[in-house]
Structure 1
């Protein structure tokens, strides 16, 4: 036999020919050559890595694979498991060419074999195994059968194509880091290299060097078509406005050598996003990455950032920039769909290839990605294609916005692991925050070898480098200090909002819980106030409609804001750029209150003090007296369900500190307020709250322990430290389980989606989520009902298990205890 006897892919049609294994391997190596250039490897290592990628499907030269392809006989081993065994068996030939340490070779063999999203868990023994080989190894070679000699010939032929390949000089740490990077790199090369429209099987059997030359030409076209052809960063001015203090600092701060971490701390509305883009562009020009990924806390904040990024990032590179949105509902973003379907665009506008848009995993490969932090955190959890996500991020400047929202113990531990892994791969990062406690900042800086105990605020800190403080203030109009006034009862909040709305003020009440927000709107409407409502328990179509209405009235360019009243939950803290004259807020931890206050008197350049119907900005805080604490239920008499949302100790400290201070002075006074509640020197709480605080601390410690168990073992390398489990088994966040309801309307022809949308988006836009524990206590509609089965029969099995289709009656009833209304959202009612 010979290399021409081993097919790698079936014929595409009856008149087509099989694609030989060695030709497919050369296709993938040609793609790898196109992709690897910007990563800065020296030539010997670069050639060695591309050679290993070329050998990723070596075991297609085997009896087992050929029988599967031609005779449809199932394989007893997955083919990547056989590849690892075959590479170990043929190591003497590879060792003569690649050299290097045996353990390094073995580690990289396992990495490249794991290109289907998971490492092998078969016992192959390893290169230094002595005695009789493990059973898995022996069975694997039996499956290779008569292909062994031809596989050896293929190895020798491929080595000749990469004469400079060498693993000499690799350290153990570098090898481990590469073991996490290489599987994802190989996956991408394999996916693109399998494009048989461009990389077609030849009708004859050319010599390998001749085939390789044609494959290289086709690979360049395929990589460009996928949207992965690397461009160079452009040294141009990104913004034509006068830079604000933090933005000017980011344009000047010295960068450290190697991977760099910068922390931008400034008040809400200070232009941190633009500052980060200025700094990221400088990092790109310094060779610290070849793209960006913006990681946001929620889908709503990611959508908002995508809109902003689309206006700017197209100018970053010397070719058309690819831009993607990465989260579970990206396909429902009108802005993202516009980019996908917009056709040819100008050279300074971002675009997105169909290939990149096909999955959230691929979205991390674009020049610029915007998504939830969850998409980045999956790169450090033992889930399938974890290494692909890591590879996608490895060449990016990672920009994490609202990083103060990631301080909860579980997600905080994940973020630290993400930064450690990113740095090990040579990646740089920028963290944005308004309210980051100093202790958390210190932990994050230490990952990049930095430290800072400076209490100055605002501040720009480069780990191991310069800290810029004393930033000059803008000369434009400011809102000044925000005065704090305590309200003791919800009806007092209603009176404040009624009074000022009657005088033409745009007003908002931020509540901690959805049920409380609904109750507040009912109270306001009973007073004759046409209050609007926004929370997370609306069907997505209704939420998007309401968000658009709210932005049109109270947004940056809002019109008709006079007398406008909105009641909302935490979705108002960061996802929407809103500006109110009057604000009431339920008591919340200091960091959250500062974020909320950032929506009060926000756009002073457009709406200076003299134009507002209120003489000064005031944050009215609904809270009991912190000097009167009888028991652990101190909050419950004033705030209903919202009293359970945050740790009561943080709530009490916030009330105690804030009411004594009487004001929020931004930016100069923010650090002291944050540290007094969230810092390591925070004061003691009343004895009645001690048990609740200890319980909360215990839950935090347990959450960090849970994270430590879930995060991949970076030091162990990909084969030992990686897994390939379902994402749901390794959540990116802890919290109460949610169930998704899919709402439907009854018509004579059957059920139709709640959303008034045409096309496939109608059903996803009809989804709403709520706590599983509350929903499971209700008699939800029977999913075996014929009208429901008519819709769900085509759903995948996982979706039928996790989602619930719910017809909504004309009066809003879903079942006893549950209703849905367009103006109120999902409403739980007492069954008593």
Structure 2
């Protein structure tokens, strides 16, 4: 390259952003905006712990690391200097008539930066010679800024970029790439080159650069800066002044929680439990400046949530983290926790900060999507519009979501680096850790190894966690933190343990817990033609409630059984006089989203803690007499209280969880027949009173666990289960690995298979990442990758079909099915509010009539819905078909499926 070419000035005709703008935005300006934004994010968004981790991984001090990361951000789109990108704006491209024509395929600009940048960095002193050298690691890192790392090409370090990718073009194309590179390099005053670029650091840096790119790519921001002038240095200085507002408006400011004691943090608690006092009193002395894991094991109703929030805040303060992600097993439990955390954030946050709700249907939650329009929404922690965008909610300083949102960080999905960035710098709080199957537990282990490695504090809590599971999760975290040989603490129940990720030291504590005797009432319940006949047992158990009042829950193992039980009770109660008839409710997962939310809110209002009535004895919302029929949806995290709990036989940990909804609230006024907490278990029995597992149950629970649980309940008989004294022993006995029967062997085999599936599905542990492309190798969207095996993975939409073929969202035809070219947010929300989750196996055999309208194909929310047209039958019901299945939707029963 000649001297005149070396001094070639940057061509501002080369555009970086064009869509939606009055004029194209020069590429070099966009690169400088992104570099400035990366500087601000490092200073104001990254937690101190994350900044230290990145700097150490680059072998630099933090100031130098900030400069070098900002420099790399300034190169992220340099691959746009090629004909196949510039020609995407025909008018702008026409002005580049002095550039040589380039033949070839259409290539993406992120591939171009991946191929071109390594050689340019090698010319600035970066390590060269192999694809693993720092020059080419940075090139691969920036090639991933659209969410996927590309595979390394062994030729990259030996051949010129144009030889590998001819579409880059030569002559003026190459001269301008070098001119822009030099301009950015000169303006950003980079420090010495990094000693290394480790893969784990590359993940976080790429996430930071993606975030910076997204923020400065907003049309409103770019439009305001068009026409400011052509001086690159002035533009960069101006960017440093203006981009902090982008971060603020996006809701990315770190939260600052008040530094108070437990009593001040939770003023509504008059007398803390021993667990809460123990953690508040002993944890601070164990904390160094490093992160760690706090493991809490205690019975239901012992204040674990408040303990986790207090302990998490102490961990954050000690380790330099900010904010939290609170992860739960289901959308229903997540929605309820969002309400609690919103109040917590309002009370504890010292300044405005965002709290996001993370699950696939979160925008249907009125409390979340209202964004302050309702006076009940607390404005200072409302998530701005920007955080409601796809893949953004986890970036907020406070978030509550389903566990899936975190587990996706260790699946090789597009933009996993953005999820990992969102997790970094927070405290990760996991509720109901016992509730996940072997596959999910294995994914959680992989996630914990990454979080231990990158320095994320973790709080894990459970009411019924087997010791072997607790040990695996703790070991994964400590292994990731570099303490593979650490002595794990003894897990006491009830109690808590702490593992320091910096020193490897551990400590454990036993705590006192409220002791109570749970009366066990095992009822032999006949199985007729493969189905459990609950009618006789329920009439006996509920007779006192009919006579004197009271509140009971009946939990069934399948949706179909819950629906049938509801019908049986409706028939039985029909002859009672209106004044003596208890209220009857049904809740399960196969209601339309709108209807399920209505029922959940109503049940929570009636049987949960009442904010309006300070004295539980005088709660005006609690019915005189009521029966709730439900599935597993109420067994976890929902703060409900019943006088009697009736349950199908289930694995012991889940039975104990269900029992946690019985006499949950001290101080309730109980009917005279409810003299003690009572769990009535409907034991499926043959005529000889042998255990006879109904035909549908093995699809929900493994027979090995049901038989083991039954054996333990048989030993207890109609005795009592001491809470908490007997809990851990029961859990360990049922869930141990001893192989005593063929069913045990089958269960262990399935668990091993699930472990293998999780290993194949997840990304490697941090120290085993040999190439960055391994982290984003899945060629499918995140909606198609399962974080749960056997999950209800299809959403169906029941639509009502009139005689003339017209479709509507209601039986009366007053809400025609929207199918125009462009649907607004209100219409999309209206459609999704009527959808129902369903196992994919129940939605087989779809035909053209089950496909959504063609105009929905461009909408990510709607294109994969399965439509079930319902037509009026001769008996007045609305029914439809899908494959070999018949479907009927009823307002009170939900979606019914039959063959």
Question: Which one of the candidate residues 583, 598, 609 is aligned to 1:545?
Answer: 598
Quote how far apart the aligned CAs of 1:646 are. Answer: 0.6
| Structural mapping, 1:133-282, within 5 Å | 138-140=164-166, 142-143=168-169, 145-170=171-196, 175-199=198-222, 200-203=224-227, 205-236=229-260, 237-240=264-267, 241-242=269-270, 243-252=272-281, 253=283, 254-282=286-314
Residues 597-627 of structure 1 deviation map (CA, whole Å, 9 limit, x = unaligned): 000011113x166x66411111111114799
Q: Distance in 2 between matches of 1:184 and 1:302?
A: 26
Q: Distance in 1 between matches of 2:123 and 2:225?
A: 28
| 1:233–1:284 Cα contact (<8 Å) kept | no
Quote how far apart the aligned CAs of 1:752 are. Answer: 2.4
Question: Which one of the candidate residues 310, 317, 321 is aligned to 1:285?
Answer: 317
| Structural mapping, 1:641-652, within 5 Å | 641-652=696-707
| 2:115–2:139 Cα contact (<8 Å) kept | no
Quote how far apart the aligned CAs of 1:318 are. Answer: 3.3
Cα 1:166/1:500, change in 2 over 3 Å: farther
Cα 1:189/1:602, change in 2 over 3 Å: same
What residue number does 1:310 align with? Answer: 342
| 1:97–1:165 Cα contact (<8 Å) kept | no
| Structural mapping, 1:95-114, within 5 Å | 95=125, 103-114=133-144
Question: Which one of the candidate residues 850, 858, 880 is aligned to 1:814?
Answer: 880
Cα 1:542/1:453, change in 2 over 3 Å: same
Quote how far apart the aligned CAs of 1:514 are. Answer: 1.1
Q: Distance in 1 between matches of 2:658 and 2:154?
A: 57
Q: Please, which moves more after superposition, 733-742 or 694-703? A: 733-742
What residue number does 1:491 align with? Answer: 535
Question: Which one of the candidate residues 534, 557, 574 is aligned to 1:512?
Answer: 557
Quote how far apart the aligned CAs of 1:2 are. Answer: 2.6
Residues 235-268 of structure 1 deviation map (CA, whole Å, 9 limit, x = unaligned): 1342113432222233231224423111111111
Cα 1:245/1:747, change in 2 over 3 Å: farther
Q: Please, which moves more after superposition, 583-592 or 719-728? A: 719-728
SS at match of 1:55: coil
Question: Which one of the candidate residues 512, 517, 521 is aligned to 1:472?
Answer: 512
Cα 1:228/1:369, change in 2 over 3 Å: same
Cα 1:63/1:773, change in 2 over 3 Å: closer
What residue number does 2:545 align with? Answer: 501
Q: Distance in 1 between matches of 2:858 and 2:640?
A: 39
Question: Which one of the candidate residues 445, 465, 473 is aligned to 1:444?
Answer: 473
* Structure 2 residue runs without a partner (length 5+): 1-7, 52-61, 95-101, 479-485, 526-533, 575-581, 611-618, 816-825
| 1:339–1:352 Cα contact (<8 Å) kept | yes
Q: Distance in 1 between matches of 2:754 and 2:132?
A: 39
Structure 1 residue 358 corresponds to structure 2 residue 389: yes
Cα 1:604/1:23, change in 2 over 3 Å: same
What residue number does 1:433 align with? Answer: 462
Q: Distance in 2 between matches of 1:806 and 1:457?
A: 52
Structure 1 residue 673 corresponds to structure 2 residue 704: no
| 1:340–1:353 Cα contact (<8 Å) kept | no
Q: Distance in 2 between matches of 1:455 and 1:295?
A: 22
| 1:181–1:390 Cα contact (<8 Å) kept | yes
What residue number does 1:372 align with? Answer: 402
Q: Distance in 2 between matches of 1:710 and 1:75?
A: 33
Task: Provide TM-score, normalisation by structure 1.
Answer: 0.89
Structure 1 residue 390 corresponds to structure 2 residue 417: no
Q: Distance in 1 between matches of 2:154 and 2:607?
A: 63
SS at match of 2:664: coil
Quote how far apart the aligned CAs of 1:534 are. Answer: 1.2
Question: Which one of the candidate residues 7, 10, 25 is aligned to 1:3?
Answer: 10
SS at match of 1:716: coil
Q: How many pairs are equivalent?
A: 796
What residue number does 1:19 align with? Answer: 25
What residue number does 1:762 align with? Answer: 830
Quote how far apart the aligned CAs of 1:67 are. Answer: 3.1
SS at match of 1:817: strand
| 2:585–2:628 Cα contact (<8 Å) kept | yes
Quote how far apart the aligned CAs of 1:81 are. Answer: 0.8
SS at match of 1:95: coil
Task: Provide TM-score, normalisation by structure 2.
Answer: 0.82
Residues 164-215 of structure 1 deviation map (CA, whole Å, 9 limit, x = unaligned): 5344454x7xx12112212211111000011242244453644332211101
What residue number does 2:809 align with? Answer: 753
Q: Distance in 2 between matches of 1:204 and 1:560?
A: 64
SS at match of 1:436: coil
Quote how far apart the aligned CAs of 1:640 are. Answer: 5.0
| 2:802–2:871 Cα contact (<8 Å) kept | no
| 1:493–1:584 Cα contact (<8 Å) kept | no
What residue number does 2:758 align with? Answer: 707
What residue number does 1:823 align with? Answer: 892
Cα 1:467/1:67, change in 2 over 3 Å: same
Residues 328-368 of structure 1 deviation map (CA, whole Å, 9 limit, x = unaligned): 10011121023354599877x41111100122x10001111
* Structure 1 residue runs without a partner (length 5+): none
| 1:539–1:825 Cα contact (<8 Å) kept | yes
| 1:255–1:462 Cα contact (<8 Å) kept | no
Q: Distance in 2 between matches of 1:565 and 1:184?
A: 50
Q: Please, which moves more after superposition, 185-194 or 640-649? A: 640-649
How well do the aligned residues superpose, as a CA RMSD in angstroms?
A: 3.2
SS at match of 1:462: strand
What residue number does 2:613 align with? Answer: none
